[in-house]
Amino acid sequence: MKTEFKEFTIKNTIIGPITIVFYNKGNLLIKEIILSNQNTNSSHIAYEKYDSIEESSYDDLDYNLKRLITNIEKYLNGEDVEFTLDYLDLSSFTPFQQDVLITEFNTKKGTINTYGQIAAMINRPKSYRAVGNVLSHNPYPIIIPCHRTVRKDWTIGGFNGHAYGDKSKEILLSLEGIEIKEKKVISESTIISLNKKDQTKLI
């Protein structure tokens, strides 16, 4: 039976429209979160990518999806929120890909790491290029905060699979208190420990 995908677009955010693609097979599953890029609105990307997709009104959404939308909006307004992996459809990913995505999910707000550090965290220290590839195709930006991973020289690099995604990446990092100058991280948030093991707030 063909999966019937639906979409809802958060239209006004600091990084442009954001489209959530989802479906329901007894319970809510989010297939993808699509960010707009420099040339294309996120909803246009969704309709080009999925053969059959239906627009949903906010009133038709279930409670859990409404809560996620509210949390995304709060986060992009600078508020502290806790995202969850519940309702994300990770079933199509390999164990390695899942390890990368879950490790990235646990990266705390106000901190950054490198592709090499994530590779080391999952006990695959030589796989930093593969880590970068997984994160460049991260289907759940913001929830799985791949914007918090930068190059080893601390230049921020691309985002959302595009070299010109660095503008959105810089906006998100700056929102979290990361200092950036000329596309390079100068320091992490001053209220967050630099200890990669604990990553706890200093105050």
Residues 106 and 148 in one domain: yes
pLDDT, tens digit, 9 for 90 and up, residues 14-57: 999 999 999 988 889 999 999 998 889 999 999 999 988 999 99
Q: What is residue 147's predicted lDDT score, i.e. its pLDDT?
A: 95
Residue 196 lies in a domain: no
Residues 103 and 68 in one domain: no
Q: List the CATH number of the domain containing 154.
A: 1.10.10.10
pLDDT, tens digit, 9 for 90 and up, residues 142-157: 999 999 999 999 999 8
Residue 127 lies in a domain: yes
pLDDT, tens digit, 9 for 90 and up, residues 111-127: 999 999 999 999 999 99
| Alpha-carbon span 183 to 190, nearest angstrom | 19
Q: What is residue 163's predicted lDDT score, i.e. its pLDDT?
A: 52
Residue 112 lies in a domain: yes
The residue that leads in pLDDT, 80 or 200, is: 80
Name the pTM for this structure: 0.88
Residues 105 and 71 in one domain: no
Range(s) of the domain holding residue 48? 5-76
Q: What is residue 2's predicted lDDT score, i.e. its pLDDT?
A: 75
Which of the residue ranges 13-27, 74-88, 153-167 would you say has the lowest mean pLDDT? 153-167
Work out how many domains the chain is built from and give that number.
2
List the catalytic residue out of 35, 72, 112, 146: 146
Which residue, among 177, 161, 166, has the nearest Cα to 108 in the 3D structure?
Answer: 177
Residues 26 and 58 in one domain: yes
Annotation says 81 is catalytic: no
In whole numbers, what is the pLDDT of the chain averaged over residues?
A: 89
